Amino acid sequence: MNSKEMIQQRIEKLRKEVDKHRYLYHVLDKPEIDDSVYDSLLDELIKLEKENPEFHSATSPSQRVGGEILDKFSKVKHTVKQWSFDDVFDFEELKKWEEKIDKMAIKNNFELSDYGEIKYCVELKIDGLKVILNYKEGRLAQGATRGDGEIGEDVTSNIKTIKSIPLELPEKIDLIAVGEIWLGKNELEKINKERESQGEAKFANTRNAAAGSIRQLDSAVVAKRKLDSFIYDIEKMEIPNTQYPIPNEIQNSKLKNNSVSSLRGTPKQSSTLDDSKMFEITGSPRKFRVQNLLAKTKDASLPKSQIDELELLKNFGFKVNLNYRKCKSIEEIEEFYQEWVNKKDNENYELDGIVIKVNAKKIQDALGYTGKSPRWGVAYKFPAQRVTTVIEDIFVQVGRTGALTPVAHLRPVRVAGSVVSRATLHNEDEINRLDARIGDTVVIQKAGDVIPEVVSVVKNLRTGKEKKFKMPDVCPICGSIVKRENISISSSPLTACRPSFSGGARGGQAGVGNSERNPLCLTTSPPLSTK
């Protein structure tokens, strides 16, 4: 063996070793070596490939470090139209959805028993960026954004930097897989600290950060941001002629020496192998296991259920969110929903609901699609933390310390699980900062038990009829002159106005908020009373 052959062999072994530990760490979350050891192996691989460009491979783990800088992204026409789920927001709406699909299933000559023991596969709804991954002969050929559902953008160079996405599959198949790209909350915090130190605007949330990152023209920047993925759907799969021995017991399988193609799903999976042991088999990752899965399929149909599809994606080497649940009824779905409403904030990724899918593929196919959404699935959204509404009026409340707080009277809207009709504007300075006016469309938020607040104004929706608000010069409770807290007051014995009733400028409820910068009502009179 000459020196070049030895270098080539070393490169190939390094690629397998680095990819093995990439999968163990980023997909299975079962690292076997320290990060520094992994980095050392990867650095050696990059160095050898740079010194020996004739051994370049598009699927090498070294291609994940980024470096390609684009002028712009090219447009991509999706092979399969990208749909989105309809939403429901409470259990009653979920019941109506189930009634609707049951009627349609019966209309299509199905019995309710045809759903099977597990009626639904329920998955977490990740608040990230949808991407479409196109594999040709087992290699990642293209990664694209959803765009408008028909046309997206080619972001392949950026997708390759995401370590949880395989660059090569165990089999030379053509596959279109769909999933969500997301950024961890911990990574967002690091990125925002760095951006703030450089005088750049911070990302508002993890979704914005993920979307902004995946559309970076410099893939090296993307690589530094440590994006992650969860893959949840197979839209198209084509199995070429199998080139491996077929077990004797299934010599008559329809898959033998045939090509199988479908727009939905894949052969039913076998779960006899332990994921953590898959790299002990010689050859490409999971190769023989997937061959076994394909060979054991006794007909040319695709997975019989949504759960089978998730399991097969996992076996292909994709990262699948394992927090899905098999549900027999919508009552079980509601339990799952409430469970995650309570613990969603504990995860490192943002969640905005759950996705409910009919498990049986044959019923999915019968239910079909509307113009924009699948009938066989629905998104059950978590209570929104931020929504838009309109300021119908602004009034002032007097707190127990005498502080005057402006409060927005809102067009009623549901936020964080309850209907809200007012939100604090904190103080005069905040009104001026927001430039909030009566008649404005505004964004309000409510987190946990915190009082709703106005966080921004949608100024593009202004009509010109909005009215500016001015804080009063006299107390709406007692009529005394108001002063700012940080302005010196006279030495006269003054007592802060402390209304003991629920009243104010418009009925003036006391105690909504307080601030150092709020004006104070200062009066020599004792507090008013309803007695």
Final residue of a structural domain among 332, 356, 381: 381
Q: Is residue 284 part of a domain?
A: no
125 is known as an active-site residue: yes
Which tens digit of pLDDT belongs to each residue from 488-500? 222 223 445 655 3
Question: Are both 39 and 115 inside the same structural domain?
Answer: no
- Alpha-carbon distance of 493 to 171, in angstroms, equals 86
Torsion of CA 348, 354, 355, 358, to 10 degrees: 130
Q: Is residue 113 part of a domain?
A: yes
Q: Is residue 80 part of a domain?
A: no
What's 465's domain CATH number? 2.40.50.140
Which residue in the list 125, 160, 314, 319 is annotated as catalytic?
Answer: 125
Q: Is residue 450 part of a domain?
A: yes
- pTM for this predicted structure: 0.66
Number of domains in the chain: 3
Question: Are both 493 and 412 inside the same structural domain?
Answer: yes
Give yes or no for a contact between 123 and 311, defined as CB atoms under 8 angstroms apart. no
Give yes or no for a contact between 431 and 396, defined as CB atoms under 8 angstroms apart. no
Question: Are both 55 and 97 inside the same structural domain?
Answer: no
Q: How far apart are the first and last CA of the chain?
A: 103
- Alpha-carbon distance of 17 to 486, in angstroms, equals 66
Question: Are both 514 and 410 inside the same structural domain?
Answer: yes
Closest CA to 184 of 174, 176, 192: 192
Question: Are both 342 and 445 inside the same structural domain?
Answer: no
Question: Are both 478 and 460 inside the same structural domain?
Answer: yes
**pLDDT of the chain, 531 residues: tens digit per residue:** 788 898 999 899 889 888 888 888 666 657 777 766 777 788 788 889 889 999 988 888 887 765 555 567 899 999 998 988 998 989 999 999 999 999 999 999 999 999 999 999 999 999 999 999 999 999 999 999 998 889 999 999 999 999 999 999 998 999 999 999 999 999 999 999 999 999 988 887 898 899 889 988 888 989 999 999 999 999 989 876 544 333 333 233 333 333 344 554 333 333 333 443 333 323 333 444 455 555 444 343 468 899 999 999 999 999 999 999 999 999 999 999 999 999 998 999 999 899 999 999 999 999 999 887 999 999 999 887 778 889 999 999 887 777 888 999 999 987 776 788 989 898 889 999 999 999 999 988 875 556 788 988 988 888 899 999 998 888 887 778 877 654 222 222 344 565 533 333 443 443 333 333 344 554 433 333 223
Question: Are both 430 and 446 inside the same structural domain?
Answer: yes
Q: Which residue carries 């008013």 as its tokens? A: 528
Question: Are both 20 and 44 inside the same structural domain?
Answer: yes
What's 345's domain CATH number? 3.30.1490.70
Final residue of a structural domain among 381, 400, 419: 381
Question: Are both 492 and 420 inside the same structural domain?
Answer: yes
Question: Are both 404 and 462 inside the same structural domain?
Answer: yes
**By residue range, what is the domain housing residue 367?**
87-125+324-381
- Alpha-carbon distance of 14 to 6, in angstroms, equals 12
Question: Are both 438 and 479 inside the same structural domain?
Answer: yes
Give yes or no for a contact between 310 and 324, defined as CB atoms under 8 angstroms apart. yes
The two tokens of residue 67 are 């470096």
Q: Is residue 29 part of a domain?
A: yes
